[in-house]
Structure 1
Amino acid sequence: MKTEFSQPRFTGARFDDHTLPVDVARDLAAYEILIVELAKHLYLKNHPDRQRVPKGFASNFRLDIERIDEGSTKLLLALVLSGALALTGGEQDHFAQARDLIAVCIAAPENALPAEFPKELLVHFNQLGRSLREDEALELPLPGANNAARLTQTKRKLLVLAADQVYERDISLIGYIEEVDFARSTFRLKLVDGGQSTVPMPDSFQNTARTYGGRSRHQINVVGVGTYDSWDRLQKVVSVDALEVIKNHAISARFDEITQLESGWFEGDGLAPDADEMSAVSEKLIADYPDKLPLPQIAPKQDGNLLLEWKAEGDPSLDINLTSSLASFHAFGEHGEDVERDFNLDTAGWQSLFAFLGDNIRVREA
């Protein structure tokens, strides 16, 4: 048996084309789960003589997306009941009551939540609405009203904190691996803002952790779920969805900046480096630049090429001609003589260049 059940509406720039981003679909799954759990609670409250809901109460219930209407992304959710649940009327009403109570709870002030909504179920808002961005909302129709309840990231946070001291949200943390605990399968991430956090480590990441542990030059981007307190301070990394290594992040970030240049960038003059040619150079520097060498300062030149300079003995520098794939090194030797060498930046040339830099760049003593 299938009947129209609810018309939630997603608002925000991502929904202007009346499509549903895949990552937002998890909010609908969380909505379905909350309806089921709340319906169970309501059933048992209305039947105090029972200890359990009828067999098939939850398993024979589901929500299907029947269509997407215009008006940002407005979904029609159909209620599909099967088995014995489809043949009885009273049990069905609890799902509609749960749907309406969820909307009323979202619309209520956090200090005046409906008493019939159990506090222990507020934790479900850790999942429901978690994919929403700051400018987005999930609107649910309010019973007997023309307006809707608006679930935003802020409202979701307040609902969870009404029953708990922390709430969950998606995280994207960037830092370097300061220490690895293989016994506990965790590593300590030193964050770019100076803080730190212990991160669960999948078995598949252990070799990577060995390679990059203690090497602050290489950053790790942690994507997953974390718990935050009411002041939005990270308390714990709950789970990890993805771990990405950003090798030589300072070099990578600098090339990202240079890529944004347009011709005329220097007082109306100055050619913008060719994007494809610069990409080839940046990939080699990011991937293979030796850890033992100090990082260079990288500057665009007015002719559209690149200059690398090191704060080291002899003021070493490297001119890179992007068009010809040639690099010219210059420094002053111990007695003031010129130290010069040219490199053809093919695969062997890069290897020769890095080996040469290792032998000829001497860090100044403090």
Structure 2
Amino acid sequence: MIDLSSDTVTRPTEAMRRVMARAEVGDEQKGEDPTVNMLQDVVAELLGKEAALYLPTGTMCNNIAIKAHTQPADAILVDRQAHILRSESAGLAALSNVLVDQIDGDRGRFTAEQVARAITKGSLYAAPTRLLCVEQTHNFGGGTIWPLAQLRAVCEVARARGIATHMDGARLLNAVVATGMQARDYAACCDSVWIDFSKGLGAPGGAVLAGSAAFIQQARRYKHVFGGAQRQAGIIAAAGLYALSHHVERLCGDHENAKILADGLGSIPGVQVELPVETNMVFFDVRGAGLSHEAFLANLQSHRVRVGSVGDRLRAVTHLDVSQHDIQEALAVIKKVCRKQDS
């Protein structure tokens, strides 16, 4: 199966598995797992933050950050296509009891002026804005990258109003590799930020949330509240350390493969591709070729190729387990499926 449905389908390499098998471990819940502690220190340094906290998932990172930055009946600001809003099972409502105000961004990115207009001071009738959330790269926006100047501008507006800022940095390192910027430059814009290891970096799980020492102390308490504390987690954390040393620079290959895929899709009559392709995601539509998305996905699956469906859009994601040869094979299958419909 050539699986382009998501970069979460990546599997640990043999070298990563060997590192995991040899990992030094301890009781993570008590802060005694040396591999987890090392990963937290490495990520804090990478992001230029005082402290960091290892967590099982990125969704837990977002939920803990929202909980730590807000009180019940506060409002948070997010892009209307934010992963926090669209793909986390309303955790922010269930766990933090916050109101979500949406900004209509451009492929996931909004302006300082939009933020200024959306902020509410709070009154007898309106919830006060307490937190601004951004996503780098922006998943449903198309794997799009926040330009550093724009990111700084929107976060400065929030800070000037006393509003905290949080970055969903699940694919932050894709932005780093694509632009040549430092991760800490992006992270400096926000009070809290996290990176994920189970996507393009190829680890089987885990994420690290970073911020001030006081923020991480509070986040650690919510980690226990939300059931995120672990025991010998160093086995998985070792994969994160390996990924940071071996799988970051190679993300540029995923980006190149995504551009090759987009070019190939764009050459098929009736297929519309969302451009530009900035990182490892390609959003497209085949209905112009006379295919429903349901029929298209089923036909691909029968030919052992898989892409994803996100609302009324199709999404193909390149990653560690997809080679350039796989991209060409997938394009051949897609062309065949579309030609078959034409005939």
Range of TM-score over shorter length: under 0.3
Could you say which structure has the greater relative contact order, defined with CA pairs below 8 angstroms and 6 or more residues apart? 2
Q: Which has the larger radius of gyration?
A: 1
Q: Which has the higher helix share?
A: 2
Relative to the length of structure 1, the TM-score reads 0.26
